[in-house]
Protein backbone atom coordinates (compact mmCIF):
# COMPACT_ATOMS: atom_id res chain seq x y z
CA UNK A 1 0.00 0.00 0.00
CA UNK A 2 1.38 3.37 -1.00
CA UNK A 3 0.61 6.60 0.86
CA UNK A 4 -1.40 7.70 -2.18
CA UNK A 5 -3.62 4.64 -1.94
CA UNK A 6 -4.12 5.14 1.77
CA UNK A 7 -4.82 8.80 1.23
CA UNK A 8 -7.45 7.99 -1.37
CA UNK A 9 -9.07 5.46 0.94
CA UNK A 10 -9.17 7.90 3.84
CA UNK A 11 -10.58 10.59 1.60
CA UNK A 12 -13.45 8.36 0.62
CA UNK A 13 -14.02 7.35 4.27
CA UNK A 14 -14.37 11.00 5.11
CA UNK A 15 -16.79 11.56 2.29
CA UNK A 16 -18.83 8.54 3.38
CA UNK A 17 -18.99 9.81 6.95
CA UNK A 18 -20.26 13.16 5.76
CA UNK A 19 -22.78 11.56 3.43
CA UNK A 20 -23.99 9.36 6.27
CA UNK A 21 -24.59 12.45 8.37
CA UNK A 22 -22.02 11.51 11.00
CA UNK A 23 -20.18 14.75 10.36
CA UNK A 24 -21.39 18.13 9.22
CA UNK A 25 -18.71 19.93 7.30
CA UNK A 26 -19.22 22.74 4.79
CA UNK A 27 -18.38 21.47 1.32
CA UNK A 28 -15.61 24.01 0.79
CA UNK A 29 -13.85 22.88 3.96
CA UNK A 30 -13.52 19.32 2.72
CA UNK A 31 -10.09 18.68 1.26
CA UNK A 32 -9.99 17.06 -2.16
CA UNK A 33 -7.37 14.78 -0.78
CA UNK A 34 -6.56 13.94 2.82
CA UNK A 35 -2.83 14.11 3.30
CA UNK A 36 -1.08 11.32 5.11
CA UNK A 37 2.37 11.71 6.56
CA UNK A 38 5.03 9.43 7.78
CA UNK A 39 5.24 10.15 11.52
CA UNK A 40 8.67 10.89 12.91
CA UNK A 41 8.20 8.41 15.68
CA UNK A 42 7.43 4.79 14.96
CA UNK A 43 5.23 4.71 18.04
CA UNK A 44 2.80 6.78 16.03
CA UNK A 45 2.13 4.05 13.52
CA UNK A 46 3.00 3.78 9.86
CA UNK A 47 1.06 6.76 8.60
CA UNK A 48 -0.73 9.62 10.28
CA UNK A 49 -3.21 12.28 9.34
CA UNK A 50 -4.22 15.48 11.05
CA UNK A 51 -7.50 15.70 9.18
CA UNK A 52 -9.55 15.69 12.38
CA UNK A 53 -7.66 18.72 13.66
CA UNK A 54 -8.19 20.57 10.41
CA UNK A 55 -11.90 19.91 10.32
CA UNK A 56 -12.58 20.77 13.95
CA UNK A 57 -13.25 24.42 13.30
CA UNK A 58 -15.38 24.21 10.15
CA UNK A 59 -17.37 21.32 11.61
CA UNK A 60 -17.69 22.99 14.98
CA UNK A 61 -16.83 19.74 16.73
CA UNK A 62 -13.82 18.95 18.95
CA UNK A 63 -11.07 17.26 16.93
CA UNK A 64 -11.07 14.09 19.03
CA UNK A 65 -14.76 13.63 18.34
CA UNK A 66 -14.12 13.80 14.61
CA UNK A 67 -11.25 11.38 15.00
CA UNK A 68 -13.58 8.98 16.79
CA UNK A 69 -16.08 9.14 13.95
CA UNK A 70 -13.36 8.35 11.40
CA UNK A 71 -11.52 5.77 13.45
CA UNK A 72 -13.90 2.92 12.78
CA UNK A 73 -14.19 3.64 9.09
CA UNK A 74 -10.43 3.82 8.65
CA UNK A 75 -9.96 0.58 10.54
CA UNK A 76 -12.18 -1.10 7.96
CA UNK A 77 -9.90 -0.17 5.06
CA UNK A 78 -8.39 -3.40 3.72
CA UNK A 79 -4.77 -3.69 4.82
CA UNK A 80 -5.16 -1.37 7.79
CA UNK A 81 -4.54 -3.27 10.98
CA UNK A 82 -4.96 -0.57 13.59
CA UNK A 83 -6.09 3.02 13.95
CA UNK A 84 -5.22 5.00 17.08
CA UNK A 85 -6.26 8.43 18.17
CA UNK A 86 -3.38 10.32 19.72
CA UNK A 87 -2.69 13.69 21.24
CA UNK A 88 -5.13 16.40 20.25
CA UNK A 89 -6.71 14.22 17.54
CA UNK A 90 -4.11 12.69 15.26
CA UNK A 91 -5.18 9.50 13.56
CA UNK A 92 -2.32 7.04 13.57
CA UNK A 93 -2.69 4.24 11.08
CA UNK A 94 -0.83 0.96 11.23
CA UNK A 95 -0.75 -1.13 8.08
CA UNK A 96 -0.29 -4.85 8.22
CA UNK A 97 2.93 -6.25 6.87
CA UNK A 98 1.23 -8.15 4.09
CA UNK A 99 -0.40 -5.02 2.71
CA UNK A 100 2.77 -2.97 3.01
CA UNK A 101 5.03 -5.66 1.62
CA UNK A 102 3.12 -6.08 -1.62
CA UNK A 103 4.80 -2.93 -2.82
CA UNK A 104 8.13 -4.70 -3.25
CA UNK A 105 6.71 -6.98 -5.89
CA UNK A 106 4.74 -4.19 -7.51
CA UNK A 107 7.88 -2.10 -7.93
CA UNK A 108 9.89 -4.91 -9.47
CA UNK A 109 7.07 -5.60 -11.87
CA UNK A 110 6.65 -1.93 -12.77
CA UNK A 111 10.39 -1.64 -13.39
CA UNK A 112 11.54 1.61 -14.95
CA UNK A 113 8.01 2.92 -14.96
CA UNK A 114 7.66 2.88 -11.16
CA UNK A 115 7.11 6.44 -10.08
CA UNK A 116 5.84 7.71 -13.40
CA UNK A 117 2.49 9.33 -13.70
CA UNK A 118 0.16 10.84 -16.23
CA UNK A 119 -0.76 13.92 -14.22
CA UNK A 120 0.87 16.24 -16.75
CA UNK A 121 -0.16 14.33 -19.85
CA UNK A 122 -1.25 16.58 -22.66
CA UNK A 123 0.80 19.55 -21.47
CA UNK A 124 3.33 20.82 -23.95
CA UNK A 125 6.17 22.52 -22.13
CA UNK A 126 8.97 24.55 -23.58
CA UNK A 127 11.78 24.56 -21.05
CA UNK A 128 14.47 27.06 -21.84
CA UNK A 129 17.67 26.93 -19.81
CA UNK A 130 21.39 27.64 -19.94
CA UNK A 131 21.11 29.90 -23.01
CA UNK A 132 24.61 31.18 -22.32
CA UNK A 133 26.03 33.60 -24.84
CA UNK A 134 28.36 31.99 -27.38
CA UNK A 135 31.17 34.30 -26.36
CA UNK A 136 32.91 31.85 -24.07
CA UNK A 137 32.64 28.49 -22.39
CA UNK A 138 29.86 27.69 -19.94
CA UNK A 139 30.92 28.50 -16.43
CA UNK A 140 29.62 27.26 -13.09
CA UNK A 141 26.41 29.25 -13.08
CA UNK A 142 25.33 27.86 -16.43
CA UNK A 143 26.46 24.42 -15.34
CA UNK A 144 24.06 24.57 -12.42
CA UNK A 145 21.14 25.33 -14.74
CA UNK A 146 22.21 22.60 -17.10
CA UNK A 147 22.01 20.08 -14.27
CA UNK A 148 18.82 21.42 -12.73
CA UNK A 149 17.08 22.16 -16.02
CA UNK A 150 17.76 18.82 -17.59
CA UNK A 151 16.59 17.03 -14.47
CA UNK A 152 13.47 19.11 -14.37
CA UNK A 153 12.78 18.18 -17.98
CA UNK A 154 13.18 14.50 -17.13
CA UNK A 155 10.89 14.88 -14.12
CA UNK A 156 8.23 16.60 -16.21
CA UNK A 157 8.47 13.76 -18.69
CA UNK A 158 8.05 11.25 -15.89
CA UNK A 159 4.73 12.94 -15.19
CA UNK A 160 3.62 12.55 -18.76
CA UNK A 161 4.38 16.05 -20.03
CA UNK A 162 5.63 16.66 -23.53
CA UNK A 163 8.84 18.61 -22.99
CA UNK A 164 11.11 20.44 -25.39
CA UNK A 165 14.49 21.46 -24.05
CA UNK A 166 15.48 24.69 -25.66
CA UNK A 167 18.63 26.78 -25.75
CA UNK A 168 18.28 30.39 -26.86
CA UNK A 169 21.38 31.12 -28.74
CA UNK A 170 22.15 34.75 -28.46
CA UNK A 171 24.03 35.49 -31.65
CA UNK A 172 22.82 39.00 -32.31
CA UNK A 173 24.07 42.25 -30.88
CA UNK A 174 26.89 43.89 -28.99
CA UNK A 175 28.37 41.04 -27.04
CA UNK A 176 28.94 39.13 -30.22
CA UNK A 177 30.62 42.14 -31.78
CA UNK A 178 32.99 42.30 -28.81
CA UNK A 179 33.68 38.64 -29.18
CA UNK A 180 34.47 39.12 -32.89
CA UNK A 181 36.73 42.08 -32.18
CA UNK A 182 38.54 40.06 -29.50
CA UNK A 183 39.19 37.26 -31.98
CA UNK A 184 40.43 39.71 -34.55
CA UNK A 185 42.74 41.37 -32.05
CA UNK A 186 44.13 38.03 -30.99
CA UNK A 187 44.74 37.06 -34.59
CA UNK A 188 46.67 40.26 -35.15
CA UNK A 189 48.67 39.68 -32.01
CA UNK A 190 47.13 42.70 -30.35
CA UNK A 191 45.89 42.78 -26.75
CA UNK A 192 42.21 42.15 -26.13
CA UNK A 193 40.00 45.24 -26.56
CA UNK A 194 39.03 47.13 -23.43
CA UNK A 195 35.48 45.78 -23.44
CA UNK A 196 36.41 42.49 -25.06
CA UNK A 197 37.11 38.96 -23.93
CA UNK A 198 40.44 37.55 -22.89
CA UNK A 199 41.41 34.02 -22.03
CA UNK A 200 43.07 31.15 -23.74
CA UNK A 201 39.94 30.04 -25.53
CA UNK A 202 39.90 33.27 -27.55
CA UNK A 203 43.40 32.53 -28.82
CA UNK A 204 42.48 28.96 -29.60
CA UNK A 205 39.47 29.95 -31.61
CA UNK A 206 41.32 32.73 -33.41
CA UNK A 207 44.02 30.22 -34.36
CA UNK A 208 41.49 27.74 -35.60
CA UNK A 209 39.77 30.36 -37.73
CA UNK A 210 43.14 31.41 -39.12
CA UNK A 211 44.04 27.88 -40.05
CA UNK A 212 40.68 27.38 -41.74
CA UNK A 213 40.98 30.64 -43.61
CA UNK A 214 44.67 31.55 -43.94
CA UNK A 215 44.09 34.78 -45.88
CA UNK A 216 41.38 36.00 -43.56
CA UNK A 217 43.16 39.18 -42.45
CA UNK A 218 43.27 40.46 -46.01
CA UNK A 219 39.63 39.81 -46.84
CA UNK A 220 37.11 42.61 -47.12
CA UNK A 221 35.60 42.36 -43.66
CA UNK A 222 37.80 40.21 -41.42
CA UNK A 223 35.84 41.01 -38.28
CA UNK A 224 32.65 39.67 -39.83
CA UNK A 225 34.50 36.57 -40.93
CA UNK A 226 35.80 36.04 -37.40
CA UNK A 227 32.34 36.62 -36.04
CA UNK A 228 30.69 34.08 -38.29
CA UNK A 229 33.28 31.37 -37.85
CA UNK A 230 34.02 32.15 -34.21
CA UNK A 231 30.40 31.87 -33.18
CA UNK A 232 30.07 28.55 -34.96
CA UNK A 233 33.16 27.17 -33.25
CA UNK A 234 32.12 28.43 -29.83
CA UNK A 235 28.67 27.04 -30.37
CA UNK A 236 30.04 23.64 -31.31
CA UNK A 237 32.24 23.61 -28.24
CA UNK A 238 29.33 24.51 -25.95
CA UNK A 239 27.22 21.77 -27.46
CA UNK A 240 30.02 19.30 -26.97
CA UNK A 241 30.44 20.25 -23.30
CA UNK A 242 26.73 19.94 -22.71
CA UNK A 243 26.61 16.60 -24.44
CA UNK A 244 29.42 15.29 -22.30
CA UNK A 245 27.46 16.55 -19.30
CA UNK A 246 24.52 14.46 -20.46
CA UNK A 247 22.43 17.41 -21.56
CA UNK A 248 21.16 17.49 -25.14
CA UNK A 249 18.78 20.19 -26.21
CA UNK A 250 15.98 19.50 -28.64
CA UNK A 251 16.14 22.98 -30.10
CA UNK A 252 19.03 25.43 -30.32
CA UNK A 253 17.21 28.57 -31.27
CA UNK A 254 19.21 31.31 -32.96
CA UNK A 255 18.19 34.78 -31.97
CA UNK A 256 19.44 35.99 -35.32
CA UNK A 257 16.79 33.97 -37.12
CA UNK A 258 14.07 36.11 -35.59
CA UNK A 259 15.55 39.14 -37.29
CA UNK A 260 16.42 37.42 -40.53
CA UNK A 261 12.97 36.05 -41.20
CA UNK A 262 11.20 39.28 -40.33
CA UNK A 263 9.46 37.90 -37.24
CA UNK A 264 10.52 40.86 -35.14
CA UNK A 265 9.30 43.38 -37.66
CA UNK A 266 5.97 41.67 -38.10
CA UNK A 267 5.50 41.56 -34.39
CA UNK A 268 6.27 45.23 -33.96
CA UNK A 269 3.60 46.09 -36.48
CA UNK A 270 1.18 43.94 -34.57
CA UNK A 271 2.06 45.66 -31.30
CA UNK A 272 1.74 49.10 -32.82
CA UNK A 273 -1.68 48.16 -34.13
CA UNK A 274 -2.72 46.95 -30.70
CA UNK A 275 -1.84 50.33 -29.23
CA UNK A 276 0.61 48.86 -26.74
CA UNK A 277 3.58 50.39 -28.50
CA UNK A 278 4.04 54.15 -28.42
CA UNK A 279 6.64 56.64 -29.64
CA UNK A 280 8.55 58.84 -27.24
CA UNK A 281 11.94 60.59 -27.43
CA UNK A 282 12.55 59.06 -30.84
CA UNK A 283 12.13 55.50 -29.57
CA UNK A 284 9.31 53.01 -29.51
CA UNK A 285 8.16 51.94 -26.06
CA UNK A 286 6.18 48.97 -24.85
CA UNK A 287 3.43 49.91 -22.45
CA UNK A 288 4.58 47.17 -20.07
CA UNK A 289 3.54 49.01 -16.90
CA UNK A 290 -0.01 48.40 -18.07
CA UNK A 291 0.70 44.71 -17.54
CA UNK A 292 2.50 44.70 -14.22
CA UNK A 293 6.04 45.76 -15.09
CA UNK A 294 7.57 48.52 -13.01
CA UNK A 295 8.55 50.63 -16.00
CA UNK A 296 7.92 50.83 -19.69
CA UNK A 297 10.55 49.29 -21.93
CA UNK A 298 12.18 50.52 -25.07
CA UNK A 299 11.60 48.09 -27.90
CA UNK A 300 13.10 50.09 -30.76
CA UNK A 301 15.92 52.38 -29.79
CA UNK A 302 16.11 55.93 -31.11
CA UNK A 303 18.93 54.81 -33.41
CA UNK A 304 16.43 52.55 -35.10
CA UNK A 305 17.90 49.29 -33.80
CA UNK A 306 15.78 46.77 -31.97
CA UNK A 307 16.40 46.50 -28.25
CA UNK A 308 16.94 43.09 -26.70
CA UNK A 309 13.37 42.78 -25.58
CA UNK A 310 12.17 42.91 -29.18
CA UNK A 311 13.78 39.54 -29.74
CA UNK A 312 12.29 38.23 -26.50
CA UNK A 313 8.79 39.13 -27.52
CA UNK A 314 9.16 37.66 -30.98
CA UNK A 315 10.72 34.57 -29.47
CA UNK A 316 7.84 34.07 -27.08
CA UNK A 317 5.39 34.42 -29.94
CA UNK A 318 7.37 31.88 -31.90
CA UNK A 319 7.16 29.41 -29.04
CA UNK A 320 3.43 29.86 -28.76
CA UNK A 321 3.03 29.45 -32.50
CA UNK A 322 4.91 26.19 -32.20
CA UNK A 323 2.14 25.00 -29.90
CA UNK A 324 3.59 25.17 -26.40
CA UNK A 325 1.11 25.61 -23.56
CA UNK A 326 3.72 26.66 -21.08
CA UNK A 327 6.98 28.50 -21.68
CA UNK A 328 9.35 28.12 -18.77
CA UNK A 329 12.48 30.23 -18.57
CA UNK A 330 15.22 29.35 -16.13
CA UNK A 331 17.24 32.43 -15.32
CA UNK A 332 19.93 33.39 -12.87
CA UNK A 333 19.19 35.78 -10.03
CA UNK A 334 21.02 38.48 -11.94
CA UNK A 335 18.15 38.42 -14.43
CA UNK A 336 15.25 38.47 -12.02
CA UNK A 337 14.26 41.88 -13.35
CA UNK A 338 13.11 40.09 -16.51
CA UNK A 339 10.24 38.30 -14.91
CA UNK A 340 7.81 41.19 -15.02
CA UNK A 341 8.85 42.22 -18.48
CA UNK A 342 8.52 38.78 -20.02
CA UNK A 343 5.08 38.37 -18.55
CA UNK A 344 4.12 41.87 -19.61
CA UNK A 345 5.29 41.15 -23.13
CA UNK A 346 3.05 38.11 -23.29
CA UNK A 347 0.10 40.05 -21.96
CA UNK A 348 0.68 42.95 -24.34
CA UNK A 349 0.28 40.55 -27.21
CA UNK A 350 -3.07 39.53 -25.85
CA UNK A 351 -1.79 36.24 -24.53
CA UNK A 352 -2.18 34.88 -21.02
CA UNK A 353 0.75 35.92 -18.83
CA UNK A 354 0.47 32.59 -17.04
CA UNK A 355 1.83 30.93 -20.16
CA UNK A 356 5.14 32.41 -19.09
CA UNK A 357 6.80 31.00 -16.05
CA UNK A 358 10.18 32.23 -14.93
CA UNK A 359 12.25 30.19 -12.53
CA UNK A 360 14.90 32.20 -10.79
CA UNK A 361 17.92 30.41 -9.47
CA UNK A 362 20.46 31.90 -7.12
CA UNK A 363 24.13 32.25 -7.85
CA UNK A 364 26.95 29.80 -7.52
CA UNK A 365 29.88 31.15 -5.56
CA UNK A 366 33.40 29.93 -5.49
CA UNK A 367 35.00 29.61 -2.11
CA UNK A 368 38.63 29.02 -1.26
CA UNK A 369 39.90 28.68 2.30
CA UNK A 370 36.51 29.75 3.52
CA UNK A 371 36.48 33.07 1.71
CA UNK A 372 34.35 33.88 -1.31
CA UNK A 373 36.25 34.17 -4.53
CA UNK A 374 35.14 36.31 -7.43
CA UNK A 375 35.27 34.49 -10.70
CA UNK A 376 37.84 36.34 -12.63
CA UNK A 377 39.55 35.42 -15.84
CA UNK A 378 42.63 37.38 -14.91
CA UNK A 379 42.93 35.70 -11.54
CA UNK A 380 42.43 32.33 -13.20
CA UNK A 381 39.42 31.56 -11.04
CA UNK A 382 36.90 30.93 -13.78
CA UNK A 383 35.62 27.42 -13.41
CA UNK A 384 33.91 26.05 -16.47
CA UNK A 385 31.62 23.10 -16.97
CA UNK A 386 34.51 21.20 -18.50
CA UNK A 387 36.78 21.97 -15.55
CA UNK A 388 34.19 20.70 -13.12
CA UNK A 389 33.62 17.51 -15.07
CA UNK A 390 37.36 16.94 -15.43
CA UNK A 391 37.85 17.24 -11.69
CA UNK A 392 34.91 15.37 -10.21
CA UNK A 393 33.27 13.61 -13.14
CA UNK A 394 29.82 14.06 -14.60
CA UNK A 395 27.92 12.09 -11.97
CA UNK A 396 29.30 13.97 -8.99
CA UNK A 397 29.02 17.30 -10.76
CA UNK A 398 25.41 16.82 -11.78
CA UNK A 399 24.35 15.39 -8.47
CA UNK A 400 25.99 18.02 -6.33
CA UNK A 401 24.44 20.80 -8.38
CA UNK A 402 21.00 19.22 -8.51
CA UNK A 403 20.65 18.35 -4.83
CA UNK A 404 20.28 21.94 -3.66
CA UNK A 405 17.22 24.10 -3.87
CA UNK A 406 17.63 26.66 -6.64
CA UNK A 407 16.56 29.29 -4.14
CA UNK A 408 19.74 29.00 -2.19
CA UNK A 409 23.10 30.33 -3.14
CA UNK A 410 25.56 27.51 -3.27
CA UNK A 411 29.20 27.68 -2.42
CA UNK A 412 31.60 25.44 -4.24
CA UNK A 413 34.84 24.99 -2.44
CA UNK A 414 37.77 24.82 -4.81
CA UNK A 415 39.83 22.89 -2.29
CA UNK A 416 37.20 20.23 -1.90
CA UNK A 417 36.92 19.95 -5.66
CA UNK A 418 40.59 19.66 -6.32
CA UNK A 419 41.13 17.25 -3.46
CA UNK A 420 38.55 15.08 -5.18
CA UNK A 421 37.75 13.95 -1.68
CA UNK A 422 34.33 12.74 -2.11
CA UNK A 423 32.12 14.24 0.42
CA UNK A 424 29.50 14.01 -2.25
CA UNK A 425 26.34 12.16 -1.26
CA UNK A 426 26.09 10.86 -4.79
CA UNK A 427 28.44 8.10 -3.72
CA UNK A 428 26.22 7.22 -0.81
CA UNK A 429 23.32 6.74 -3.19
CA UNK A 430 25.31 5.05 -5.93
CA UNK A 431 26.91 2.76 -3.39
CA UNK A 432 23.50 1.70 -2.18
CA UNK A 433 22.57 0.85 -5.75
CA UNK A 434 25.78 -1.06 -6.34
CA UNK A 435 25.11 -2.91 -3.12
CA UNK A 436 21.68 -4.03 -4.28
CA UNK A 437 23.41 -5.45 -7.34
CA UNK A 438 26.04 -7.20 -5.23
CA UNK A 439 23.35 -8.69 -3.04
CA UNK A 440 21.55 -9.84 -6.18
CA UNK A 441 24.69 -11.54 -7.47
CA UNK A 442 25.27 -13.27 -4.15
CA UNK A 443 21.68 -14.35 -3.98
CA UNK A 444 21.90 -15.89 -7.42
CA UNK A 445 25.05 -17.74 -6.41
CA UNK A 446 23.31 -19.07 -3.32
CA UNK A 447 20.30 -20.22 -5.29
CA UNK A 448 17.92 -17.58 -3.99
CA UNK A 449 15.47 -16.66 -6.73
CA UNK A 450 12.40 -14.49 -7.05
CA UNK A 451 10.11 -17.46 -7.29
CA UNK A 452 7.98 -17.14 -4.17
CA UNK A 453 6.79 -13.89 -2.66
CA UNK A 454 5.33 -13.72 0.84
CA UNK A 455 4.56 -10.09 1.58
CA UNK A 456 3.90 -10.75 5.25
CA UNK A 457 7.51 -11.91 5.67
CA UNK A 458 8.68 -8.32 5.34
CA UNK A 459 7.92 -7.57 8.95
CA UNK A 460 11.19 -6.27 10.38
CA UNK A 461 11.08 -2.60 11.44
CA UNK A 462 13.76 -1.73 8.89
CA UNK A 463 11.63 -3.39 6.22
CA UNK A 464 8.57 -1.43 7.11
CA UNK A 465 10.64 1.75 7.01
CA UNK A 466 12.19 0.83 3.68
CA UNK A 467 8.80 0.01 2.15
CA UNK A 468 7.43 3.30 3.39
CA UNK A 469 10.12 5.42 1.76
CA UNK A 470 9.85 3.43 -1.46
CA UNK A 471 6.13 4.11 -1.38
CA UNK A 472 6.73 7.81 -1.03
CA UNK A 473 8.83 7.96 -4.17
CA UNK A 474 6.00 8.55 -6.69
CA UNK A 475 4.60 11.36 -4.55
CA UNK A 476 8.03 12.94 -4.33
CA UNK A 477 8.22 13.01 -8.13
CA UNK A 478 4.82 14.61 -8.37
CA UNK A 479 5.85 17.28 -5.88
CA UNK A 480 9.20 17.83 -7.57
CA UNK A 481 7.36 18.46 -10.84
CA UNK A 482 4.68 20.66 -9.26
CA UNK A 483 7.18 22.86 -7.44
CA UNK A 484 9.79 22.63 -10.20
CA UNK A 485 12.28 21.38 -7.63
CA UNK A 486 14.48 18.51 -8.78
CA UNK A 487 16.45 18.58 -5.54
CA UNK A 488 13.55 16.81 -3.85
CA UNK A 489 14.31 13.72 -5.89
CA UNK A 490 17.96 13.70 -4.87
CA UNK A 491 17.08 14.19 -1.22
CA UNK A 492 14.61 11.38 -1.26
CA UNK A 493 17.12 9.03 -2.88
CA UNK A 494 19.42 9.78 0.04
CA UNK A 495 16.62 8.80 2.41
CA UNK A 496 16.02 5.57 0.52
CA UNK A 497 19.72 4.78 0.45
CA UNK A 498 19.92 5.29 4.21
CA UNK A 499 16.93 3.04 4.83
CA UNK A 500 18.44 0.42 2.56
CA UNK A 501 21.80 0.40 4.31
CA UNK A 502 20.07 -0.01 7.67
CA UNK A 503 17.97 -2.84 6.32
CA UNK A 504 21.02 -4.50 4.81
CA UNK A 505 22.64 -4.38 8.19
CA UNK A 506 19.68 -6.04 9.88
CA UNK A 507 18.24 -8.48 7.35
CA UNK A 508 20.09 -10.96 5.19
CA UNK A 509 18.91 -11.97 1.74
CA UNK A 510 21.09 -15.04 1.34
CA UNK A 511 20.96 -17.55 4.17
CA UNK A 512 23.81 -17.89 6.66
CA UNK A 513 26.20 -20.78 6.09
CA UNK A 514 24.43 -23.96 5.06
CA UNK A 515 20.98 -22.84 6.11
CA UNK A 516 18.21 -23.67 3.69
CA UNK A 517 16.78 -21.09 1.33
CA UNK A 518 13.33 -20.09 2.52
CA UNK A 519 10.58 -17.88 1.23
CA UNK A 520 11.84 -15.18 3.57
CA UNK A 521 15.06 -15.10 1.58
CA UNK A 522 13.18 -15.09 -1.71
CA UNK A 523 10.86 -12.34 -0.57
CA UNK A 524 13.73 -10.20 0.64
CA UNK A 525 15.33 -10.54 -2.76
CA UNK A 526 12.22 -8.89 -4.22
CA UNK A 527 12.63 -6.04 -1.78
CA UNK A 528 16.33 -5.75 -2.53
CA UNK A 529 15.65 -5.59 -6.24
CA UNK A 530 12.85 -3.09 -5.74
CA UNK A 531 15.27 -0.76 -3.97
CA UNK A 532 17.78 -1.10 -6.78
CA UNK A 533 15.05 -0.30 -9.27
CA UNK A 534 13.86 2.83 -7.48
CA UNK A 535 17.40 4.12 -6.98
CA UNK A 536 18.15 3.55 -10.66
CA UNK A 537 14.92 5.27 -11.68
CA UNK A 538 15.65 8.25 -9.48
CA UNK A 539 19.28 8.59 -10.50
CA UNK A 540 18.29 8.55 -14.15
CA UNK A 541 15.97 11.49 -13.52
CA UNK A 542 19.04 13.34 -12.26
CA UNK A 543 21.13 12.27 -15.22
CA UNK A 544 23.40 10.29 -12.94
CA UNK A 545 24.51 6.71 -13.61
CA UNK A 546 23.51 3.80 -11.40
CA UNK A 547 26.63 1.63 -11.36
CA UNK A 548 26.41 -2.11 -10.67
CA UNK A 549 29.87 -2.09 -9.15
CA UNK A 550 31.98 0.74 -7.81
Binding to RNA (CB under 7 A) within 531-550 occurs at 548-550
Residues 230-269, one symbol each (x = binds RNA by CB under 7 A, - = not), give ----------------------------------------
- Where on the phi/psi map is residue 130: left (φ > 0), alpha (ψ -120 to 50), or beta? left
**Cα 50 versus chain centre, distance:** 30
Write down the least CB distance from residue 496 to RNA, Å.
Answer: 11
- Quick check: 283 binds RNA (CB under 7 A)? yes
Write down the least CB distance from residue 166 to RNA, Å.
Answer: 17
Tell me which residues in 88-147 interact with RNA (CB under 7 A). Answer: 88, 90, 92, 133
The residues with which 326 forms a beta bridge, in sequence order, are: 125
Contact indicator for 250, 164 with CB cutoff of 8 Å: yes
The residues with which 169 forms a beta bridge, in sequence order, are: 254
Q: Which is nearer to RNA, 216 or 368 (CB)?
A: 368
- Quick check: 32 binds RNA (CB under 7 A)? no
Judged by DSSP in three states, 230 sits in: helix
Tell me which residues in 424-463 interact with RNA (CB under 7 A). Answer: 425, 427-428, 431, 434-435, 437-439, 441-443
Residues 354-393, one symbol each (x = binds RNA by CB under 7 A, - = not), give ------x-xx------------------------------
Q: Which is nearer to RNA, 150 or 485 (CB)?
A: 485
Residues 159-188, one symbol each (x = binds RNA by CB under 7 A, - = not), give -----------x-xxxxx------------
Contact indicator for 205, 230 with CB cutoff of 8 Å: yes
Contact indicator for 490, 537 with CB cutoff of 8 Å: no
Of 305, 321, 371, 380, the one binding RNA by CB under 7 A: 305
The residues with which 277 forms a beta bridge, in sequence order, are: 286
Non-local CB neighbours of 211 within 8 Å, separated by 6+ positions = none
Residue 79 CA to residue 100 CA, distance in Å, equals 8
Residue 507 CA to residue 520 CA, distance in Å, equals 10
Q: Which is nearer to RNA, 139 or 487 (CB)?
A: 487
In this structure, what are the phi and psi dihedrals at residue 507, rounded to the nearest 5 degrees? -130, 125
How many angstroms separate the Cα of 114 from the Cα of each of 1, 98, 531, 537?
Answer: 14, 20, 11, 8
Q: In this structure, what DSSP letter does residue 1 have? A: -
Write down the least CB distance from residue 331 to RNA, Å.
Answer: 10
Non-local CB neighbours of 389 within 8 Å, separated by 6+ positions = 241, 244, 245, 397
Binding range to RNA, per CB under 7 A, among 80-88, 143-151, 220-228, 265-273? 80-88
Q: In this structure, what DSSP letter does residue 88 have? A: T
In this structure, what are the phi and psi dihedrals at residue 372, rounded to the nearest 5 degrees? -60, 145
- Quick check: 74 binds RNA (CB under 7 A)? no
Outline where 159-247 has alpha helix (H).
174-187, 200-212, 222-244
Write down the least CB distance from residue 339 to RNA, Å.
Answer: 8
Q: Which is nearer to RNA, 212 or 354 (CB)?
A: 354
Of 337, 350, 447, 461, the one binding RNA by CB under 7 A: 337
Write down the least CB distance from residue 351 to RNA, Å.
Answer: 20
Of 7, 50, 94, 288, the one binding RNA by CB under 7 A: 50
Non-local CB neighbours of 251 within 8 Å, separated by 6+ positions = 164, 165, 166, 167
- Quick check: 54 binds RNA (CB under 7 A)? yes
Q: Which is nearer to RNA, 80 or 410 (CB)?
A: 410
- Quick check: 286 binds RNA (CB under 7 A)? no
Of 308, 351, 373, 387, the one binding RNA by CB under 7 A: 308
* Total chain residues near RNA (CB under 7 A): 90
Residues 482-521, one symbol each (x = binds RNA by CB under 7 A, - = not), give -x-x-xx--x--x---x--xx-xx-xxxx-xx--------
Binding range to RNA, per CB under 7 A, among 3-11, 22-30, 223-231, 298-306? 298-306
Amino acid sequence: MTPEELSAAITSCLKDAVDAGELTVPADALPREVRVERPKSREHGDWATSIALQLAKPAGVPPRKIAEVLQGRLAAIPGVSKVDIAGPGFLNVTVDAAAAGGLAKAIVEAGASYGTNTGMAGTRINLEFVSANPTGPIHLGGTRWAAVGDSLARIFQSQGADVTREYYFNDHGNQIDRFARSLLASAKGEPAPEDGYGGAYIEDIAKEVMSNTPDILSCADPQEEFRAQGVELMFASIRASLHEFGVDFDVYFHENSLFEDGAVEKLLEQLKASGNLYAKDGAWWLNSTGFGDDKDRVVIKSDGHAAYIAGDIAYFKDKRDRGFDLCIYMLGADHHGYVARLKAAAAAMGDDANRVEVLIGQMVNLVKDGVPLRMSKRAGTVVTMEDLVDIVGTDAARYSLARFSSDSNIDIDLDVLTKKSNENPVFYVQYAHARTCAVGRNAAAAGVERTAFDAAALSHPTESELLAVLGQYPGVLTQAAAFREPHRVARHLEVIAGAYHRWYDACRVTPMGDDAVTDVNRTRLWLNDAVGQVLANGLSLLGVSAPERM
